[in-house]
């Protein structure tokens, strides 16, 4: 078994035991944010190891946003001159590299890195720009989709860990559990609360005994 899988399995087992023994409820040193987060899951019937499974899957949810871009419905109105006949409602999975090396879209120098082709001054006709926008899907969802999920994961976890360890976070206004979330949004990369969380605030304060701690992050 790869080391990464062993490490994740070990962490899951530790966290499973921790939640199963209700440390999130009875341990006074637990951050209020962690306690409230687990409490929200418990209200929905998740207990012990089920909470751990839910927590583990959260970092991977972002990858699901790219799923719709991998399948493109294509209707072939005429079979003449084609190698394959794709019937209506057929899902076509196309590697991005095929469109990235399409001569009819990028020109004869398609195999050469030419950064000037992306400058406003190099724009062609409306039809040429339409083809480029359709063909340029470097990260699975268009030119503006952030590719840094894996790059940012370490920074996000490091910052979140310091926040949970050294600070107390209390809701101001409505409670965290009272925030209603929108349902799945096809064009949205993340789930967001209704009305962008209007009415909910948070007060962040240093935890007792951690007032003089200085945080430093190193790569």
- The pLDDT value recorded for residue 9 is 80
DSSP for 116-139, written as a single string? GGGSGGG---HHHHHHHHHH--TT
What is the pLDDT confidence band of residue 27, given thresholds at 50, 70 and 90? Answer: confident
Q: How far is CA 34 from CA 25, 28, 66, 138, 207, in A?
A: 10, 12, 29, 37, 14
| Length reported for the chain | 219
- The pLDDT value recorded for residue 70 is 45
Q: How far apart are the first and last CA of the chain?
A: 27
Cα separation, 218 vs 166, whole angstroms: 18
The answer to whether the annotation marks 146 as part of a ligand binding site is: yes
Question: In the chain, where are the structural domains located?
Answer: 3-65+148-206, 71-135
What is the pLDDT confidence band of residue 45, given thresholds at 50, 70 and 90? Answer: confident
Q: pTM here?
A: 0.32
| 124 or 71, higher pLDDT | 124
Among 146, 166, 163, CA closest to 155: 163
Asked if the model's pLDDT at residue 198 lies above 50, the reply is: yes
> 176: which residues sit within 8 A by CB, 6+ positions away?
36, 37, 40, 200
Residue with tokens 């987060």: 37
Cα separation, 207 vs 215, whole angstroms: 14
Structure tokens at 202: 């948070």
Cα separation, 93 vs 97, whole angstroms: 12
DSSP for 138-155, written as a single string? TTSS-TTS---HHHHHHH
Task: Give the tens place of pLDDT for each residue, 56-81.
Answer: 666 665 555 544 444 444 444 555 55
Asked if the model's pLDDT at residue 154 lies above 60, the reply is: yes
- The pLDDT value recorded for residue 17 is 86
Backbone φ/ψ region at 3: left (φ over 0), alpha (ψ -120 to 50), beta:
alpha
Cα separation, 154 vs 50, whole angstroms: 24
Q: Pairing relation of β-strands 200-206 and 90-92?
A: unpaired
């Amino acid at each position: 078994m790869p080391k990464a899988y062993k490490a994740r399995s070990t962490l899951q087992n530790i966290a499973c035991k921790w939640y199963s023994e209700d440390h999130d409820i009875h341990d006074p040193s637990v951050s209020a944010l962690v306690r409230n987060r687990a409490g929200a899951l418990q209200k929905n019937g998740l207990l012990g190891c089920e909470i751990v499974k839910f927590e583990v899957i959260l970092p991977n949810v972002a990858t699901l946003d790219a799923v719709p871009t991998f399948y493109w419905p294509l209707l072939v109105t005429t079979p003449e001159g084609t190698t394959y006949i794709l019937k209506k409602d057929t899902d076509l999975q196309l590697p991005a590299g095929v469109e990235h090396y399409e001569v009819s879209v990028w020109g004869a120098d398609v195999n050469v890195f030419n950064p000037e082709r992306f400058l406003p001054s190099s724009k062609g006709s409306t039809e040429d720009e339409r083809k480029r926008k359709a063909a340029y899907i470097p990260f699975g969802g268009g030119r503006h989709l952030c590719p840094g999920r894996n790059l940012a994961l370490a920074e996000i976890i490091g910052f979140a860990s310091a926040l949970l360890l050294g600070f107390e976070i209390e809701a101001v206004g409505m409670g965290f559990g009272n925030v209603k979330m929108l349902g799945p949004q096809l064009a949205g990369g993340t789930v967001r609360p209704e009305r962008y969380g209007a009415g909910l605030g948070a007060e962040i304060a240093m935890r007792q005994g951690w007032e003089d701690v200085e945080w430093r992050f190193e790569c």
